[in-house]
Amino acid sequence: MTAQPAAATSLGAPPRVRVRWKIFAFLFGFGFIAYVQQRSLTVAAYQMMPQLGFSQMQIGYLETALLVGYTAMQFPGGVIGQRLGARRMFVIIGLIALGATVVTPLAPLLLGGSALFAVLLAAQGLLGAAQGPIFPVSTGVFETWFTPRKWPLVQGLQSMGLQLGAALTPPLIAWLMSSFDWQRALFWTALPPLLVILAWAWYGRDTPREHPAVSAFELAELGEHSTASVDYAISWRRLGELLRDRDVLVLTFSYLCMNYVFYLLANWCFLYLVQERHFTVLESGWLASTPPLAAAIGSGIGGRLASVLGERYGVRRGLRIIPLLSLPAAAVLQFLAVDAANAYVAVAALALCFAAVEMNEGPYWAAIMHVGRSDAMSVSGLLNTGGNAGGLIATPVVAYLSGRHAWTAAFLLGAAFAIVSAASWLLVDPTRRAAAHRA
C-alpha cells in the first residue's frame, strides 16, 4: 500500500467537492437567473407589441431602461457589495430583482396605455439596478475563494452560466407563449430564483475562513491565498485612484466596444431571425438559442485557455492572446452572417461570432482582478460599467436600424467595434500596478 503524503495525512482526507466550488455553483446560478430574467422580455415582445399597442421602439426603450439601471449600479453596486459583503448583498439584490420581474406580467391586469408603459419602464430600470452588482460582487467572491491561477477559469465558467440562461430563454418563453400567453410565461419563470436566494442566505459566506464547512485541507490548498480578504472599508481616495488607473480605463473602453457586439447578438437575434430571415416564432425561439449556447461553450473554453496561457506566458502576455485572435474573428463572422444567402449559414455564423466574443470574458475579468486585487468588487464594477455602456449604445442604435430593416448596417458597425476592442488590448498590462508596488 502506498503511503499518504505527510501533509495530507495530518489534514485528513480531502472533501469530494470543495466548498469553494459549491460557492461557485451559487454564483453560476445567480448569473443564469439574471439572464433568464433579462432576455425574457425581448422574446415576449413579439406578443406584447400587438396586445399592448407597443412599438418596436418602445420595446427598445424598455431594454434601454434595464440597461440604464444595470449600468448605473455597476460601480456603486460593487462598492456597496464590498462594504456589506457578498452574503448579504446577494440576498438584497435577489429579492429586489424578483419583485421587479413579476411586475411586468402583472401590471397589464391593472393598467393600460401610457401609465402601463411608465410602470414597465420603471420596473425594467429597477430590475437592471438590482442585477447590476451581480458580477462585480461575484468577482470579489472569486478573488477571495480562488487562487489567481483559477481566476480566468471561474470567470469564464460563470459567463457560461449566464449564456446558458440566455440560450434556454428563447425556446422556453416561445414554448410557454405558444402554450399559454406571454404574461404567464414571464410570471412562472420569475419564481424559481426565490429558492436560490434562500439557499444562499443559509450557505453563503464572504471568505473561506468564515465558512464552517471549509476544512483545513481546503485552506492548505489555497495556501497563502487563504488569508485573502475583502477591503470592506474602501476609501474615497482609493476609489479615485481606481478611476484614474490607466489599465482600468483601457480595459473598460475595450470592454465597452466588445459589448456592442455582445448586446447586438444577445438582445436582437430573435427579432433578426423573424424579421430578416423569415423564420416562424417557434423556429426562431429555438434558433435564437443557438448563438448563446455557442457563447456558453466559448466562455468555458476561453476561461480554461486563458488560465493555461496565463500560467505559461505570464499574466500580461497570456491574457491578451485570446482577445487579439478572437475579436477580429468575430468581426469577420458578422460580415459572413449578413452576407450569407442561406439563412441557416447566417445562424451558424452568428453562433460562431458569439462564441468568439464570449471567449474573452475570462481574460477581461481576470485582468481587472489582477489590477484591483482586494478591491476586486469595486474595480470590476468600473469594468462592467463600460461593458454595459456598450449595451446603452447598441440598444437604441439597433432598435432604430432594425425598425428600418437596416440590419446589415447594425452588424457592420458591430464588426468595427470588435476590431477596436481587440486593438485596445495592446495597451493593457494587468501587472503594472503590482510591479510599481514592488519597485
Give the domain CATH number at 297: 1.20.1250.20
* Structure confidence at residue 179 (pLDDT): 74
Domain assignment present for 7:
no
- Within 13 Å of residue 53, how many CA atoms lie on the same side as its CB? 8
Q: Which domain holds residue 149?
A: 16-229+238-427
Cβ atoms within 10 Å, residue 19: 18
CA distance 266 to 169: 11
> Which triple of cell numbers denotes residue 26?
451559487
Residue 191 included in any domain: yes
The answer to whether position 51 is within a domain reads yes
Cα 327–328–333 angle (5° rounding)? 95
Residue identified by cell 436600424 is: 401
- At 250 the pLDDT is 93
pLDDT means over runs of 10, the chain (439 residues): 42 71 91 80 77 79 85 89 90 92 84 85 92 90 88 88 74 75 76 89 89 84 66 68 84 94 77 62 59 84 92 89 95 84 79 91 90 80 86 82 80 92 92 56
- Residue 61: inside a domain: yes
The structural domain count of the chain equals 1
User: Rounded to whole angstroms, what are the CA distances from 266 to 4, 6, 170, 271?
Assistant: 50, 51, 11, 11
* Domain presence at residue 1: no
Give residue 381's identity as a one-letter amino acid code. Answer: G
Q: Give the C-alpha separation, 63 to 42, whole Å.
A: 8
Report if residue 432 sits inside a domain: no
Specify if 267 maps to a domain: yes
The verdict on residue 9 lying in a domain is no
Whether 187 contacts 57, CB under 8 Å? no
What's at 310, amino acid-wise? G
